[in-house]
């Protein structure tokens, strides 16, 4: 295409990302990244404060993410470009905020991808053990294969990538529903009264509830990734709000059902120990049901949810990296689009070795914590972003695909919940929190004093918006 026109001496034809996605793909991207948190990870909240604390964390985090989804839906329905929150920050707050938000996104998703690949390697080893294999399975080839297969899929095109995510995410979600239905029919017995009586209800009191908030995020972490599809959906103003809101509703249902099933079957001491106890609580619950069908279904659900999460993370991290390259926030080389597959291929390739290095060389809990902290910093930016957006461009100045209700209450609630979660993270991972904030301060200085000189300042504001109020 471009080669032919160049050979003919004509003008170079522009190569852009393809607009081929619909609301279902947006749903698959958001829920696909997150649903693994229902299959594993959330149960650390039980260890921090008991079963009730995990339920309170589930609902408070649900409130936090409902605010995230509403705010994101409004802003991104007007900023229909790859990069999601990075592009929002660039247009609404400024370059330094945008640079930081772009890095939060790339780190959060790449670390999550690495964590998912580690988990898939572990799951394969468990399948081997369950099948009677007595040797020590080398997980490395399965970790590497996960990353390379999904990178290949992403490289080949966004439609196939998210169709794949749609199918495997739907299977994983249906598996949770089937397990829940089995509790209604009596196939699986629940024992909430016995398992949550006395000291088991809130073993560490109120501070346990606050501490549980850290892992309460795990129920929903990543739903904001839907915005990365903004440049590839056919109708951003309709598909992004619809897909995102449907996604958070799905997750609220899945999270509550997961808590209900698992706390009714597994003792809190076992459930809350995600390392030596219940690594995959839904799968463990299905095993205790005694049904081979449920065990196989939830085993497949666990693997599919993990794969869907890694797949969505590659998609999102590469779009954020690509958008930053295209704006010269990073070398422009990263802003290339594949002429046939129409994907940000250099960004996809560049992030593969980084994900493999973290997956093979870093401990899982550190990788997950780095991902959570980057996500938390991103959520703190969102309320500031939407307040400034409404002040600079009030409702009567820009047409929005979705207008979130009760402004500024969701923004204030989100800010307060972020503050509580920072405290919760500080209780368990204070050193990492401080180290990571230090890291972002250093890279901000690098961007301000060195990198920003390469940015074409006038070219980076692309939305056809009127002049902001007050400017």
Write each residue from 382 to 401 as x if it is in contact with another protein (CB under 8 A), else as -, in one continuous string: --------------xxxx--
Residue 85 sits in the site that holds another protein (CB under 8 A): no
Element (H, E) at 458: none
Selected binder of another protein within 190, 336, 360, 364 (CB under 8 A): 336
Q: In the set 190, 420, 443, 463, which binds another protein (CB under 8 A)?
A: 463
Identify whether the C-beta of residue 214 lies closer than 8 Å to the C-beta of residue 373.
Answer: no
Is there a contact between 84 and 239 (Cβ–Cβ < 8 Å)? Answer: no
Q: Which of 66, 73, 87, 250 binds another protein (CB under 8 A)?
A: 87
If binding is defined by CB under 8 A, does position 332 make contact with another protein?
A: yes
CB neighbour list of residue 287: distance below 8 Å, 6 or more residues apart: 295
Binding mask 354-383 for another protein (x = CB under 8 A): ------------------------------
Stretch that binds another protein, among 21-29, 102-110, 334-342, 410-418 (CB under 8 A): 334-342
Kindly state whether residue 3 participates in binding another protein, applying the rule CB under 8 A. yes
Residues 202-261 that bind another protein (CB under 8 A): 231, 235-237
Residue entry with tokens 């690509």: 322
Give me the 432-461 binding string for another protein, x by CB under 8 A, dash otherwise. ----------------------------x-
Q: What is d(CA 326, CA 334) in angstroms, rounded to the nearest whole number?
A: 7
> Could you say whether residue 48 binds another protein (CB under 8 A)?
no
x/- site string to another protein, residues 292 to 311, per CB under 8 A?
A: --------------------
Report the alpha-carbon distance of residue 193 to residue 181 in Å, rounded: 20
C-beta of 115 vs 240, nearer to another protein: 240
Closer residue to another protein, CB minimum distance, 163 or 235: 235
Smallest gap, in angstroms, from Cβ of residue 469 to another protein? 15
Please pick, from the candidates 160, 197, 288, 340, the single residue that binds another protein as defined by CB under 8 A.
340
Q: Is 233 helix (H, G, I), strand (E, B) or coil?
A: strand
Among 335, 375, 383, 410, binds another protein (CB under 8 A): 335
Least spacing, CB of residue 21 vs another protein, in Å: 13
Count other C-beta atoms under 10 Å from residue 59's C-beta. Answer: 16
- In angstroms and rounded to an integer, the radius of gyration of the C-alpha atoms of the chain is 22
By CB under 8 A, residue 326 contacts another protein:
yes
Interface with another protein (CB under 8 A), residue from 8, 14, 198, 450: 14
Contact of 190 with 263, CB cutoff 8 Å:
no
Residue 139 vs 250, nearer CB to another protein? 139
Site for another protein in 134-173 (CB under 8 A): 135, 137-138, 141-142, 144-145, 148-149, 151-152, 155
Is it true that the peptide bond before 415 is cis, omega within 30 degrees of 0?
no
Q: By C-beta, is 74 or 327 nearer to another protein? A: 327
Distance CA 74, CA 170 (A): 26
Name, in order, each residue with C-beta under 8 angstroms of 71's C-beta and a sequence gap of 6 or more: 382, 383, 385, 386, 404, 410, 411, 414
CB of 152 to another protein, least distance (A): 4
Contacts 24+ apart (CB under 8 A), 70-73: 70/245, 70/404, 70/405, 70/410, 71/382, 71/383, 71/385, 71/386, 71/404, 71/410, 71/411, 71/414, 72/224, 72/226, 72/227, 72/244, 72/382, 73/240, 73/241, 73/244, 73/245, 73/401, 73/402, 73/404
CA distance linking residue 363 with residue 333, whole number of Å: 32
Give the residue carrying structure tokens 């598996």. Answer: 175
Question: Of 43, 118, 139, which Cα lies nearest the Cα of 362?
Answer: 118
Q: How many residues sit in the footprint of another protein (CB under 8 A)?
A: 60
Distance CA 176, CA 95 (A): 42
Q: Which positions touch another protein (CB under 8 A)?
A: 2-3, 6, 12-17, 19, 78, 80-83, 87, 124, 128, 131, 133, 135, 137-138, 141-142, 144-145, 148-149, 151-152, 155, 231, 235-237, 323, 326-327, 332-333, 335-340, 345-346, 349, 352, 396-399, 460, 462-465
């Amino acid at each position: 295409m471009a080669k032919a026109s160049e050979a003919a001496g004509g003008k170079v034809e522009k190569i852009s990302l393809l607009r081929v996605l619909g609301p279902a793909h947006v749903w698959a991207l958001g829920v696909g990244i997150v649903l693994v948190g229902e299959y594993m990870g959330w149960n650390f909240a039980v260890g921090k404060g008991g079963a009730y604390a995990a339920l309170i964390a589930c609902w408070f985090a649900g409130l936090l993410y409902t605010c995230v989804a509403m705010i994101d839906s409004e802003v991104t329905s007007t900023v229909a470009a790859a990069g999601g929150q990075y592009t929002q920050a660039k247009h609404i707050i400024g370059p330094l905020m945008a640079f930081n938000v772009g890095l939060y996104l790339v780190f959060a998703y790449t670390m999550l991808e690495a964590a998912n690949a580690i988990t898939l390697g572990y799951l394969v080893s468990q399948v081997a053990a369950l099948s009677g294999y007595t040797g020590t399975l080398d997980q490395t080839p399965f970790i590497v294969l996960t990353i390379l297969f999904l990178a290949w899929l992403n490289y080949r095109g966004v439609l196939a990538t998210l169709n794949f995510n749609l199918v495997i995410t739907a299977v994983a979600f249906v598996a949770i529903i089937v397990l829940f239905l089995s509790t209604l029919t009596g196939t699986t017995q629940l024992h909430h009264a016995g398992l949550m009586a006395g000291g088991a209800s809130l073993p560490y009191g109120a501070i346990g509830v606050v501490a549980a908030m850290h892992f309460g995020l795990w129920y929903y972490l990543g739903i904001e990734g839907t915005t990365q599809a903004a440049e590839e959906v056919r109708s951003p103003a309709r598909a992004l709000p619809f897909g995102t809101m449907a996604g958070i509703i799905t997750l609220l249902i899945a999270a509550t059902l997961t808590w209900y099933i698992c706390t009714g079957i597994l003792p809190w001491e076992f459930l809350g120990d995600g390392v030596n106890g219940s690594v995959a609580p839904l799968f463990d619950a299905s095993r205790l049901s005694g049904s081979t069908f449920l065990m196989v279904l939830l085993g497949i659900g666990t693997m599919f949810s993990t794969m869907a999460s890694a797949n969505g993370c590659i998609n999102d991290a590469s779009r954020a990296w690509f958008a930053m390259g295209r704006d010269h926030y990073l070398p422009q080389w990263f802003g290339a689009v594949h002429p046939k597959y129409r994907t940000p291929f250099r960004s996809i390739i560049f992030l593969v070795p980084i994900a493999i290095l973290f997956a093979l060389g870093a401990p899982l809990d550190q990788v997950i914590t780095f991902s959570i902290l980057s996500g938390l910093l991103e959520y703190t930016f969102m309320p500031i972003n939407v307040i400034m957006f409404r002040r600079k461009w009030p409702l009567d100045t820009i047409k929005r695909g979705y207008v979130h209700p009760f402004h500024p209450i969701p923004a204030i609630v989100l800010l307060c919940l972020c503050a509580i979660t920072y405290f919760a993270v500080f209780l368990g991972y204070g050193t990492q929190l401080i180290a990571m904030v230090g890291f972002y301060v250093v890279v901000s200085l690098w961007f301000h004093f060195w990198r920003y000189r390469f940015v074409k300042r006038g070219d980076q504001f692309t939305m056809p918006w009127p002049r902001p109020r007050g400017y």
